[in-house]
Amino acid sequence: MTQTLLLDASDVRTYASMPAVIDAVESAFAAYHRGNAQMPAKSYIDLPKYNGDFRSMPAYLNTGEWDAAGLKWVNSHPENQQEAGLPTVLGTMIYSDPETAYPLAIMDGRTLTMLRTGAAAAVATDYAAKQSASSLGLVGAGAQAYTQLTAIANVRPIEEVVVSDVDSARTEAFASEFESEFDVVPGSISEAATCDILSTTTPVESPIVERTALNDEIHINAMGADAPGKNELDGDILSEATIIVDDYEQAIHSGEINVPLSDGGLTRADIDMAVGALVAGDEFISRTTTDISVFDSTGLAIQDVAAARAVYETAAESADTTGFDMYQLTEN
């Protein structure tokens, strides 16, 4: 009888092979570009009484080799930490069999989100960064920085890492975590920007990365902007760079490009391509003609579903996982 796996944060980390998650997210981008995915707009339930909201993110995709469906139920409650000792953002992923609709797994959505976001950056980096890239700058040393490094190191031979954060304790903790694998150096934003690849993961509402600081052949993963009014990169960077988005409409509304688009620094015509077009082979980046590239990542439900499938496929094969009969059905 089909059963539902219940996978907590530790389980998701255990069964998530980063290479498998990267491959799944890469396939999801291509499926979306080819029109083989359904991803309704994110819906919101505002909760002003609690200064928070709920968001539902459903998706279905068919890569040609496999298909998958699911729903991420996520929130933002900024007062959670102070009022309840809980994270601002929680998340639950329901991963379902598209053929029967049976829920195959219910899993921690927070850990899954970090994994798929890192994987998305890795996919963009693989297609846009120079092949010889060996240094990674990180602006922000929070949880997402960890998966940025882990994922990107799967697609480029990263040796040196420069990490910058306003909280020195976080940069020290990050360096300690990875010191046996990489040459990790705490530094300024300008020092991080001299690397071959730069990932920014901060919630700032005004630019903190200046064009004058950049390595002229850099690829940037702009991961922090997730709402109107937020942006991390100086407008001169975006006006010069090849701009790659995960989704046009989401990027325009709440991605890194939302501010320069609203103030006239950019137009829609300045958006060069979607990452799915790169994966599908319909667009290409030549490093002989393009020096700076920027991936504007907003986060898509198809990424969650693809990552959930990667986790589930491994977990379902493990002798250490047990499921439960959600509907208490009796097999005839």
What is the per-residue pLDDT across 201-238, written as a single tens digit (0 to 9) for each?
A: 998 989 999 999 998 899 999 999 877 888 999 999 99
Q: Which residues are catalytic?
A: 72
Query: Closest Cα partner for 199 from 157, 249, 256?
Result: 256
* pLDDT value of residue 291: 87
CATH 3.40.50.720 domain position(s) in the chain: 118-296
CATH topology of domain 118-296: Rossmann fold (3.40.50)
CATH architecture for residues 4-112+302-324: 2-Layer Sandwich (3.30)
* pLDDT value of residue 225: 82
118-304-272 Cα angle (round to 5): 65
Q: Coil, strand or helix: which one is 54?
A: strand
Angstrom distance (rounded) from CA 317 to CA 246: 31
> Which residues of the chain fall below pLDDT 50?
332
| Amino acid symbol at 289 | T
CATH 3.30.1780.10 domain position(s) in the chain: 4-112+302-324
- Take residue 115 and report the two structure tokens written for it: 């994994």
Q: Coil, strand or helix: which one is 43?
A: strand
* pLDDT value of residue 229: 86
The C-alpha torsion from 178 through 182 and 187 to 192, rounded to 10°, is -120
| H/E stretch holding 9 | helix 9-15
Query: Closest Cα partner for 215 from 283, 265, 287?
Result: 287
* pLDDT value of residue 2: 84
Q: Residue written as tokens 């020195």?
A: 168
